Amino acid sequence: MSDASHTESGRSATRVKVCGVTRESDREAVVAAGADAVGVVSDVPVDTPREVDADTAADLLAGVPPLVTGVLVTMPTTVEAAVGLVEDAEPDAVQVHGGLSPGELGALSRRLSQDLVVAVDAGADDVRDYADAADALLVDSVDAAGGGGTGETHDWERTREIVADLDVPVILAGGLTPDNVAAAVETVDPFGVDVATGVERVEGGERVGGEKDHEAVREFVAAATRREVAA
């Protein structure tokens, strides 16, 4: 990464992606809070309240304004399936979870004009094998099927080693919240951070999956970037 990405303190300016947006009002809140990227989950084989159908994904991504990155988050089983979905949804970037091999991800990357973010399990031994195929690695706490959105943190010290070892930008994900993201950034020094469940609405003590808490989104972006909370 070039020196231009670092502040005077030496720490890079942390990019923020808010993922699992299912509603226009939440997309607007994420953009207004100053997030760099908006994630929309579509065509995943896991049971998640953040999944939207292909038409909704395309509509949500089409409304992401210039200078903010609209990211399609998906779990394709083949390169061809991923290419078809991307052609329909027209995102600015693509984030892939699941079973594609490094070779298949390389083939997918060559078929796409968009940047490819590859999600890897923070606990896996082969994380580095995926770096060559990816424009960025998303180091996440994944479930048994390879999906994200678990709300679980992982060993940040290990992810810090991955950041230090690899040239590819590393995005930290998994269980981040407005309360822990500053410590996560301090520990891992990632290129960016990504959150889904940690900024969802809570009602009667229960999290409302797929709906964002706009105040939590503002707090998350502020804590991740050390900006003041927007009024």
Ligand X SMILES: O=C(O)c1ccccc1N[C@@H]1O[C@H](COP(=O)(O)O)[C@@H](O)[C@H]1O
Q: Which residues bind ligand X (CB under 6 A)?
A: 19-20, 39, 41, 44, 46, 48, 50, 73, 75, 97, 140, 147-151, 173-176, 194-198
Burial of 157 (0-12, 13-18, 19+ CB in 10 A): exposed
Q: Which is nearer to ligand X, 137 or 176 (CB)?
A: 176
Is the Cβ of residue 71 or residue 222 nearer to ligand X in the bound state? 71
CB-wise, 140 or 222, nearer to ligand X? 140
Calculate helix-pair angle for 181-188, 156-165, nearest 10 degrees: 40
Residue (38 or 222) nearer to ligand X, CB? 38
In degrees, rounded to 5, the angle at the alpha carbon of residue 110 between the alpha carbons of residues 27 and 36 is 25
Residue whose C-beta lies closest to ligand X: 148
Residue whose CB is less far from ligand X, 6 or 158: 158
Shortest Å, Cβ 163 to ligand X = 17
Structure tokens at 134: 């990816």
**Are 169 and 137 spatial neighbours (Cβ–Cβ below 8 Å)?**
yes
Residue 143 CB contacts under 8 Å (≥ 6 apart), including other chains:
46, 150
Least separation in angstroms between CB 96 and ligand X: 9
- Show the 3-state SS of 75-144: CCCCHHHHHHHHHHHCCCEEEECCCCCHHHHHHHHHHCCCEEEEEEECCCCCHHHHHHHCCEEEEECCCC
**Least CB distance from residue 67 to ligand X, whole Å?**
20
**Closer residue to ligand X (CB): 12 or 153:** 153
| SS3 label, residue 72 | strand
Provide the minimum distance between the beta carbon of 129 and ligand X in the complex, in angstroms, as a whole number. 20
Q: What's the chain's length in residues?
A: 231
In the complex, minimum distance from the CB of residue 193 to ligand X, in angstroms, rounded to a whole number: 9
User: Measured from the CB atom, is 8 or 74 closer to ligand X?
Assistant: 74
For residues 95 and 61, the answer to whether their CB atoms sit within 8 Å is no
CA–chain centroid gap for 126, Å, is 20
The CB-of-2 to ligand X minimum distance in angstroms stands at 25
